[in-house]
Amino acid sequence: MSSRAPSTTASSSLRVRVGHLRRVWGVFRQQPRAIWWTFVALHAAVFVALTPLMLRGGAEGDLPLYRTWATGALSEGRWPVMDFAWVYPAGALLPVVLPNVLGESLYQLVWLLLVTAANAASLWLLTDRGRRTVDAPAAWWWLLVLFLLSPVAFLRLEAFSAPAVVAALLLLGTRPRVAGALLAAATWVKVWPAAVVAAVVVASRGRATVVRACLWVTLVVVAVVAVGGGLSWVDSFVTMQSDRALQLEAPLATPWLWMAMLGVPGASVYENVGLATREVMGPGDTWAVHGSTQAMGVVMVALVGLLAVAAAGRARAGRARAGRAVSGRAGPGPADAGPTGADRGARAGHESRLVLLGALTLTITLIVFNKVGSPQYVLWIAPVVAAGLWADAAAFRAPARIVAWTAGLTTLVFPVLYLPLTDLHPVAVAVLGARNVLLVVLFGWCVLRLVEEALAAWGRELPPHWWSRRVRSVRVPVAVLADTTSATSASSASSLSAVHSRGARRSS
């Protein structure tokens, strides 16, 4: 009994401290400028941490490689894509080369300033252009993810493509041309936003405007490459990625990683010197290496079809409601020409949620079925989740929790446990396995939600909803969403509906 008393006292003390921290956090969040103070503190911490390196003229993360390409382009006239095949799309030349305009020694500084500007723009939109800084769960969650993924969120090309996708999704209803241009530009930096474009094309009524904007941006990029004499290498990023083996961190590589850890004959981790990455091999990996791309394509086509079914059902239901509303208002007196603003707002709200769900589903598919895996891939799904929280906090609370945990485990794997991981340390392998399981769980959640949306759009239901309740019971690692009330969710949804209805009237 005496041995349990100190344990009970310590547990009680811990609960008291946690409760006190939660109260302090709640008070802090109510300050109108708290979110911007946090933004400044996060980015200042990154600058301070990298200051000694910058004073020596160095660079961190992938930036030394980017700087080598930039120096070769500006000093030696050898441009990626223009003069040789490149692993990235041609649009990535802009963020890679631009930080080098003030010289190699300032590359890291200029890069960080550009990333800070991009993050500030996305946060400004997530706070409704600075008008809603108190009840802004999406903005707080986005800052949380940037913090959790800071080793890659500030030092990889996703530092530009991710904020661009956040901005594009938030502007889709009111500025579809700008949204389309941002999505196209982000896709020409890193390919993954193409999944978001596909969801918009299938499920959004503003698809024509978005596609036209994407085509114009694509035409400009291809024209610049053609003038530079690199037209034959404009698609080199596709072939260079398809020739790779199973990368160590890819969810698809998990069985062979465990085989290697357990000493199964023929299974091992090795270094791909040419790509400066670790890959894994083992018995039966041929289908994963050579067939994963085809499997991904089949799954993507099936999910796009499912999204199209849901979108068609929603459109049909919307037309039916509009018809009933017009019939109900017909009579002696002036007849209304169409659905009310509330009807249009509800339809736009359903459409926006379906677009975001489709974008999240297609993007997580790119990760789960990919033989290549890197820590920055979590920044592929985070922008969609942030936009989802902005649109409907209740509907996207489950993926927000899963992605937050995934981000934390991802940074624990890289850079903290990466060397033990390459040495097949059981703890590091288990942490990576847990991270990959969360990604698969998110994929399952998205597919089931999409099936539910498709059935509901055609008047059906997916019983018994046990999976939905269980996934939503996952707890977030910090109390970012803990005090998100139903009123906040309702206000987010209603504001989004109003925004999208205005956008629909403008583009029609």
Q: What is the pLDDT of residue 466?
A: 47
Q: Quote the pLDDT of residue 323.
A: 63
- State residue 9's pLDDT score: 76
- Cα 232 to Cα 247: distance, rounded to the nearest angstrom: 28
User: What is the per-residue burial (b if ≥16 Cβ within 10 Å, else e) of 3-14?
Assistant: eeeeeeeeeeee
What is the number of residues in the chain? 508
**Each residue's pLDDT expressed in tens, for the chain with a length of 508 residues:** 445 556 677 777 788 888 888 888 778 888 889 999 999 999 999 999 999 999 999 999 999 999 999 999 999 999 999 999 999 999 999 999 999 999 999 999 999 999 999 999 999 999 999 888 888 999 999 999 999 999 999 999 999 999 999 999 999 999 999 999 999 999 999 999 999 999 999 999 999 999 999 999 999 999 999 999 999 999 999 887 777 889 999 999 999 999 999 999 999 999 988 777 899 999 999 989 989 999 999 999 999 999 999 999 887 776 666 666 666 655 554 444 455 555 555 556 789 999 999 999 999 999 999 999 999 999 999 999 999 999 999 999 999 999 999 999 999 999 999 999 999 999 999 999 999 999 999 999 999 999 999 998 887 775 655 444 544 444 444 444 444 434 344 444 444 444 444 444 444 3
For position 19, what pLDDT does the model report? 83
* Beta bridge mates, 80: 84
CA pair distance 145, 270, nearest whole angstrom: 31
Report the side by side order of strands in the sheet with 268-272. 246-247, 277-281, 268-272
User: Is the CA virtual torsion 442, 446, 451, 455 positive or negative?
Assistant: positive
Amino acid at 342: A
- The per-residue pLDDT for 493 is 42
**Three-state DSSP class for residue 223:** helix
b/e map of 79-111 (b: 16 or more CB within 10 Å)?
Answer: bbbbbeebebbbbbbebbbebbeeebeebbbeb
pLDDT at 494: 44
pLDDT at 31: 86
Q: Environment class of residue 419 by beta-carbon count within 10 Å: exposed (0-12), middle (13-18) or buried (19+)? A: exposed
User: What pLDDT, on a 0 to 100 scale, did the predictor assign at position 132?
Assistant: 87
